[in-house]
Amino acid sequence: MLELKSLSRHFGGVRAVDGLDLEVQDGQIFGLIGPNGSGKSTTVNMITGLFAPTAGTILFRGRDIGALPTHLRLRDGIARTFQNIRLFGQLSVWQNLWVAQNSAADQARLGFFARWLGGQGRVREEIGRLLEFSGLAHKQDELAANLAFGEQRRLELARALAARPKLLLLDEPAAGMNSEEIGQLRERILKLRADGVTILLVEHVMELVMGVTDRIAVLNFGQKIAEGSPAEIQADPAVRKAYLGGAAA
C-alpha cells in the first residue's frame, strides 16, 4: 500500500527524518511511535505532500507520488488528521464535512456543476453516514469551533473519511483523550480497518498503540531504530533506551 524508501527531510542542519524505510501492507494498522521530535509528524507531512522530501521516494500503491500536490494525493486516497486539530472553526459541523467531499468517487458521481454549485441535497446521505459514524449527528449545525475537544477530534476523523481514503494517517489522535474516549477511538479504528481502510497511526498513547496495531516502527532522531509486532517492540532494549534514557538499557 505505502512504501517509503530512504526518505529524508532536513531542516537546515537538523535531520528531522533521515533515511527512513517503511512498508505498510494493505489492510494493516501500522503504528509509528517515537519520542517527541523524532520525525513522526514530518513523515506524515511528507506522505501527504505538505513537505517535499529532501531525498528518497514515496510509493503509494506502487506509484511514485513524490511530485503530486497535496490535494491530488487526497484524491488518490490518502487522508489525514492533524496533531493539533485543524477544523474550519467558523463553518458548521455539516459544512466541514461538505467541503471535504473531494474524493475521486465524488468527482465521478457528480458533474462539475452539481459538485460545486449544487445545494446540500446531493450529498446528504453520505454526510449523514459520516455524522452517524462519529456520533455528531445531533451537532450538525453547531459551529466546529464550539464543539468540545473530543467532538472536534471525532469531526476531524469524519472529515478525513469524507475522502473515502484507502490510507488514513492519524497524527496523535488520542492526545488529550481520557480512557473512555480512547476506548471509543479504538473501536472506530478497528471498524475502519474492517471496512478495508489501511491505517498509519502516529501515537504517543501506548494504551492505544499496543492494543490496535499489527506492526510498529519506532523512530528516534529521524531514524528507524526498531520494527516489529507490538510484543517485540515492547521487549526491544533499543526502544526502552530511546524512551527511558540511557540508564534503562
Binding site for another protein (CB under 8 A): 48, 50, 69-71, 74-75, 79-80, 82, 86-92, 94-96, 98-103, 115-120, 141-143, 159-160, 162-163
Q: Which is nearer to another protein, 6 or 120 (CB)?
A: 120
Measured distance between the N- and C-terminal CA atoms of the chain, rounded to whole angstroms: 35
Q: How far apart are CA 144 and CA 126, in angstroms?
A: 19
Q: Which is nearer to another protein, 110 or 225 (CB)?
A: 110
CB of 116 to another protein, least distance (A): 4
Q: Which is nearer to another protein, 60 or 215 (CB)?
A: 60
Q: How far apart are CA 41 and CA 60, in angstroms?
A: 18
- CA distances for 201 relative to 32, 90, 163, angstroms: 6, 28, 18
Cell, residue 161: 473519511
CB of 117 to another protein, least distance (A): 5
Closest by CA position to 87, among listed 45, 144, 140? 144
Q: How far apart are CA 172 and CA 233, in angstroms?
A: 19
Q: Which is nearer to another protein, 33 or 79 (CB)?
A: 79
Q: How far apart are CA 204 and CA 218, in angstroms?
A: 11
Q: Which is nearer to another protein, 50 or 190 (CB)?
A: 50
CB of 141 to another protein, least distance (A): 6
CB of 28 to another protein, least distance (A): 22
